[in-house]
Amino acid sequence: MHSIRDLRRRIRSISSTAQITKAMQMVAASKMRKAQQSALAGRPFAYLLYRIQREATTRLGEFSHPLLEKRDVRKRAVILIAADKGLCGALNGNVFRVASRFDPQSTVFITAGRKAAQFVAHSGRQLAAKFEYADSPRFSDSAAIAACARDLFLKREVDQVQVIATRFVNTLTQDPLTMDYLPVGEITELKIPGMESEEELKADDTESLFEPNPETVVAYLLSHYLNLYIHQVLLDAKASEQSARMVSMKNATDSANHLIHDLSLEYNKQRQGNITKELLEIAGGQTE
């Protein structure tokens, strides 16, 4: 049994911790709202551009583009997107668990976020490049990551590029996903209302006219599509991070408050017991 002094010290210590976690919860809640709004606002445009990309590349006919070339996968690159900081529950761990399934001998990593770079370094995996992104991801950051991945693929240093990140579902749910990035093709993880299936697109014999020519149109389209793809993934990752941190800090604050309540109850019991004991001793001395 702890002494009254120990209980008082523990209550003070846990109260200080609860104040810190409460403050972090409020900060994360403020950032979470902005991050969620950005992620949700960007989805319609990202989905529309994906739809245009699928319709254009499906109807190219005999024309092909290096970014559409499918090769036997001897080496792949993985764009690993995680948080800059911890204290966000199992978010980073879930992403790293997916990344650990890839063969380290045939996989190089492009990291976004400090925690992702630390994971690659500590696990001894191959690092091709590392990037950082702010609480409000900038499009220039997304374009730099996309350009790095494109260069590796076009130079044939890798035969496939995939993305590992978290998809924001809601405040309580963030799903770790592995998504195909290069060669450009269908992304089964994207659920687009009204989007035709691959079979429907291939069966559509509507004539498509590319002006000035297919090479120019597709090169321009794919470049912007790949940049926006990464940008939307970063927005989702940041919304997931802030949501997970807010929930984690709320749980930590609630746990601290419950522990303070239990310790205060024990403290009051011991204090009351000591008072009762002293009163009994005084009463016993008087009767003698």
**Mean pLDDT across 105-110:** 94
Express each pLDDT in 154-205 by its tens digit.
Answer: 999 999 999 999 999 898 889 999 999 998 877 766 555 555 666 666 666 6
* Percent residues over pLDDT 70 in the chain: 89
> What angle (nearest 5°) sits at the alpha carbon of residue 15, between those of residues 269 and 10?
50
Radius of gyration of the chain, Cα coordinates, nearest whole angstrom: 28
Quickly count: other Cβ atoms within 10 Å of residue 64's Cβ.
12
pLDDT of the residue at 53: 83
Tell me phi and psi for residue 162, to 5 degrees: -125, 160
What pLDDT is attached to residue 194?
A: 54
240 pLDDT above the threshold of 80: yes
Structural domains in the chain, sorted by start: 24-246 (3.40.1380.10)
Residue 247 half-sphere exposure, CB side, CA atoms within 13 Å? Answer: 15
C-alpha closest to that of 68 among 213, 225, 195, 228? 225
pTM: 0.85
Q: Say what the pLDDT of residue 200 is.
A: 65
